[in-house]
Chains A and B, each alone.
Chain A
Amino acid sequence: MSFRLHQPRILVVDDERSSLHLMCMVLRHEGHLVEAASDGASALEAAAANPPDLVLMDIVMPGMNGFETLERLRNIEGCRSVPVIFLTGMEDLESKLRGFALGAVDYVVKPFHLEEVRARVRIHLQLALAHRELAEEQGRRLRLLGEAQREMFIRPVEIPEAKFSVHYAPAQEAGGDLYDVLPLGPGIHGYLVADVSGHDVGTSLVATAAKAMLHQYAGPVFSPEETMRLVNRALHGWLPPGRFLTASFVRLNRNTGTVRAVSAAHPAPILIEAATDKIRHLETEGDVLGAFAQARFGSVDRSVRKGDRVVIFTDGLFEGVASDDAGSKAALEKAISENSRAPLDVLPQRISEAMGSGTRPDDVVVLAFEV
């Protein structure tokens, strides 16, 4: 374990003066930075001003007791996971259990044995430090996973005949939004944009798994609806409860000049007609992916001409744009109209910028392709 150079900051809270004095003295002698508070309210104030590395707190105090103070402490920035040791003259099991349920890490029973206090403080500071290092390590792994995930995303130069471009902005190191472009036969391509529920490491694993399944079930022998049904079935057997994806899958057949869009509870793709600059929403209904064994996916067909473009995106694009669906839709139509003649390789980026990118907390994918 590597020790920090900084002095651990310890907050001691007790309304009883001799206990407060004892605790402060012993901890100062240990070389810690000690702050004393004689009630819950001033403890919260001190914690907000300077988040401590450890809190030692009496339970029975006038005004706010130790339990209430702990609950409020958890809402203070920088104090959500600070270890709290209760100081107590109470021997009863119930109050100890209540403290543990609220997230206390330990107890010291009064009257204090200074040696015991030192030992418990030391071990909990070490544990807190180990936790912090673990969290940093996890952050590092998440970044590596994010890099690996990005490398798995196909780039337009790798498959120029698909004529697509994409703007991908994960909100976190490893995001839950994904896209893919698959050759499904000569002149036929599938374009997918999906959004995995949740924002954690699991999210990006689900995204990666969903892509693998899509590759397995997308092909000339399956219709887009069948592909979605098969991916759904595979995901349903594998995803933990509460996890699901929304997705938009569009198949373009350049030989016949048709697109077929399938939706899994995802915002509708948008078709920009080159000849008229008209915008059409390829609306269709469908269930989310992975939540139900027997999910249904609607599809919509449309004839297209050379130069027409289709834009598919995740709902992160709407984040903070308008307070209702109609407002979001209007903003999107405006963003697309203003940029409909932009070169394909910058179109997704322009749309995202016009919708106020960079300010939103959610992942965003905007993918555009041209017939």
Chain B
Amino acid sequence: MDLPVVDKAEALSRLDGDLELWEEIREIWLSDVGSLIDSVEAALSARSAEALRRAAHALKGASANVGATRVSATAREVEGSALGADWPALDALVAALRVETETARRELPTA
């Protein structure tokens, strides 16, 4: 994936360059992302396509706001394909989403 893990410049351009505001939503993301990705995995384990779509939607939105572009893009893929219920493909995609999420979690605090 060519996207940066965190695209802070892009996020700031949407937020009037307001660094303080960006830091606020970064704190929110860092405190919420654990439960957001857990919900995605729980829906996947339960093979609940609708719950998976919704959980991925929430993770996508939160990640897009802060500029966690790879998480957002992967979550979007999960959201878009969840209702197809191709479980082997979704297993792989959600595993990739977990990896992207952990990477962003490491990089965001120092971004």
* Residues of A near any B CB (own CB < 8 A): 15-19, 21-22, 25, 60, 62, 89, 110-115
Contacts and interface: CB of A to CB of B under 8 A. Distances in A.
Interface of B: 11, 14-16, 18, 21, 24-25, 28-29, 32, 54, 57-58, 60-62, 64-66, 72
Contacts of A25: 21, 24
Given A16-B62, A111-B65, 9 more contacts: A15-B58, A18-B29, A21-B25, A22-B21, A110-B61, A111-B72, A112-B14, A113-B14, A114-B18
Nearest to B51: A62
A18 B52 CA distance: 20
A16 B56 CA distance: 12
B15 A114 contact: yes
A25 B72 CA distance: 22
A60 B57 CA distance: 8
Contacts of A112: 14, 65
6 contacts: A18-B62, A22-B15, A22-B21, A25-B24, A60-B57, A89-B64
A222 B25 CA distance: 82
Nearest to A60: B57
Contacts, number: 52
Contacts of B11: 111
A22 B25 CA distance: 7
Contacts of A21: 24-25, 28
B65 A110 contact: yes
Nearest to A112: B14
A89 B57 contact: yes
B56 to A, nearest CB: 10
B49 to A, nearest CB: 14
Contacts of A17: 28, 32, 62
The 3 closest A-B pairs by CB, nearest first: A111-B64, A18-B25, A18-B28
**Highest count of chain B CB atoms <10 Å: which of A16, A17, A18:** A18
A89 B15 CA distance: 17
A115 B24 CA distance: 18
B31 to A, nearest CB: 8
